Structure 1
Amino acid sequence: MPHASAGQTRSPFDHPADPPGSVTGSARLDRIRKLLAKAERAGTPAEAEIYNAKALELMARHGIDEALLAADDPRRDEIGAARIAMEDPYSAGKARLLGWTAAALRCRWIMHGARGGKVSAVTVFGFASDRERVELLYTSLLLQAATELDRLRPPSDGESVAAYRRSWLQGFAAQVHQRLVEAEERAAREAAGRTAGSSSTALVLVDRESRVERAYAEAFPRLARARRPSLSGTGFADGAAAGARADLGGKAIGAQRRPVGA
């Protein structure tokens, strides 16, 4: 995903995402959190898949519903930013996992303090309902990735464990992003089919993207473009396979904007 590296540490929008004002929306998010928690504690992959399929179906529906409601009442879902601290080890990999998840959910993202293979924080920039979805999903994905990272070892005794894990995390993040992209496109098509005007959902989403891009350009006019990560480990393919197995269920929640790693 295209991403930027910020020298500045604050922006006019640097505040936490506000919770949605809708009681129905809040209740749905609570249900999604409970389903994801059950999936994280599931005894088998099949059991986790059941919980996550429902969680991601609800989350996709929530994102579309919030977008359509905001088209009628823009004050309910305003553009802003949420700054999230990254912690070592593998802070750069965690930053990409967050950023590529954000990009799949119609948000932009900015890395702060990117140097020496480390990142101090990531700012997620977009509509409040989309930022909330990003944070909710990233929390679950980070837990899943951390569980696997703790036990991972490279296949070759001569390879650095840290290098293998860094490349594994990149593969995981890239595969998760692609799954989210494809699934959100399906969710948007399904929503369009349920509306009276089949093009209304697509038009709303295009308008939201344009508004985020304009506001992002105004808030961060002088960002430097971050370099592609240079990773020596051999874990990318294994990480991508884990990303394909990650607990996202059969539904997911993002819309493609740019290719991963561009």
Structure 2
Amino acid sequence: MDGAVEQAAYQVIAAPAEGLDLALDTGASLLAASAERWPEVSRALVAFAERAIARSWTSGWRPADLVRVVRRELGPVQLALAVDLIAAEGRRHPAASLDRRWQEQLRELAAEVWWQSDEEFLAGFALRHRQDRFALATAALELLRVWGHLPPITPVGPVPGAGPSVSQRPSGPVTGEPRMLSRIRALLAKAESTEYPEEAEALTAKAQQLMAQHSIDDALLAAGQPSKNAPAALRLGVDNPYEGPKTMLLDAVAAANRCRVVWAKEFGFCTIVGFDADLDAVELLYTSLLVQATSAMHRAGSKQHLDGASRTKSFRQSFLVAYAARIRERLTAATEQATSDAAAGRHLREDGTAEQLVPDERLLPALAAREEAVDRTVGQMFPKLTAQRVRVSDGEGWAAGRAAADRASLHGRAGAITK
């Protein structure tokens, strides 16, 4: 049955668009024809998928990337199947051979092997998702085709088995996350959930203060240690609608945290290059600000032209572009203020109180060296980059977006912005 699975899969992967339906019907009919041989099909399909997924890892893809592509192109059955097959492939790798962010992605996907044997997998999956054999075989072949067409991309970390990279801490949010990072995460979660704008501002401001200090502390700790002065990278999904303005917001957050962003529009993700502590800050703050921006945008409601035609799309596009532009201004000022305070010896404790220390002359050279290292790494990873403009066509949306960004302002003492 291994041969039948390979034959069906390769025919579907190689089929031209106009012949895809026939290839799917033929392949699914072959795999689903016999109830008695269904367990053999199940075992062979899992084995084939594991090999395909392993090839994806060596081509630069990561678990969240594979799932994101499936979510964009296929349906919920294929999405659930993708997560399960990634879990199946993961059995090959001890947790110690995976870097921190790889482990985090598997946890976020809830990728786990729930079946007892691979012969039972398809039958159990069909029962869980109410699929007959033919429908499930079709979904599996569609999934394998999408994965089979993925090109190599720039890696952002070691593949399973290679061990964690030097710049990536082995701890994650579940086990031993740095206390300051846990506090930042908690503050942003409260900022997103509160119904009171003033409280959200105060919580976000406090989180930004801690982020800035966390980055500065990390730079000073690593100063003079070449093994800890290599940038890392991560990928974040940025999907429609309004993927351009969302990418602008991510770039604003990244730039303020001494990181660079490269957008792969065709795959729905951005690669962020920076130092590990800064990458953590970018991911946390971008996610929080996107939630706040989206909520503010929806509160603004739908918009119409005088003739009654809808202009909601252009309004929201302009809203998010303006929001990103204003956040860039405020975060840039916050970073400059935090750096100035740190250079003068003013230090922010984890509890939010300030203390005066002896100024550390290593700080500014260390930060400059990090920025140069990030730029150099981006040039090595992406030697051919192009810029893209985002159009603004709704003045009201622009004004509303800047106002919303001001309401999400980061103000306070150390590393913050005042109105």
TM-based fold match above 0.5:
yes
* Corresponding position of 1:228: 389
The alignment of Structure 1 onto Structure 2 pairs a total of residues equal to 242
Given candidates 147, 167, 184, the residue that maps to 1:32 is: 184
Deviations 1:205-262 (A, max 9, x none): 1111111111211121122x223112322211210111111153436869xxxxxxxx
Verify: 1:123 aligned to 2:274, yes or no.
Answer: no
Verify: 1:186 aligned to 2:322, yes or no.
Answer: no
Given candidates 143, 150, 153, the residue that maps to 1:10 is: 153
* Corresponding position of 1:5: none
5+ residue gaps, structure 1: 1-7, 255-262
What CA distance in whole angstroms lies between the structure 1 residues aligned with 2:217 and 2:338?
11
What CA distance in whole angstroms lies between the structure 1 residues aligned with 2:152 and 2:316?
28
Correspondence 1:1-262 to 2 at 5 A:
10-13=153-156, 18-19=168-169, 26-76=178-228, 78-113=230-265, 120-152=268-300, 153-154=302-303, 156-157=305-306, 158=309, 160-194=311-345, 196-197=358-359, 199-223=361-385, 225-234=386-395, 235-246=397-408, 248-250=410-412
Please tell me whether the aligned partners of residues 237 and 269 of structure 2 are also in contact (alpha carbons under 8 angstroms): yes
Give the deviation of 1:70 after TM superposition.
Answer: 1.4
Larger mean Cα displacement after TM superposition, 54-63 or 66-75: 66-75
What CA distance in whole angstroms lies between the structure 2 residues aligned with 1:145 and 1:200?
37
Larger Rg: 2
Give the deviation of 1:41 after TM superposition.
Answer: 2.0
Give the deviation of 1:13 after TM superposition.
Answer: 3.0
Q: Percent identity?
A: 38
Please tell me whether the aligned partners of residues 20 and 76 of structure 1 are also in contact (alpha carbons under 8 angstroms): no
Return closer, same or farther for 1:150/1:132 CA change in 2, 3 Å cut-off.
same
Aligned residue identity for 2:244: A
Deviations 1:145-197 (A, max 9, x none): 11122232337545510011001000000111110100111101111111645
Aligned residue identity for 1:120: G
RMSD over aligned CA atoms reads 2.8
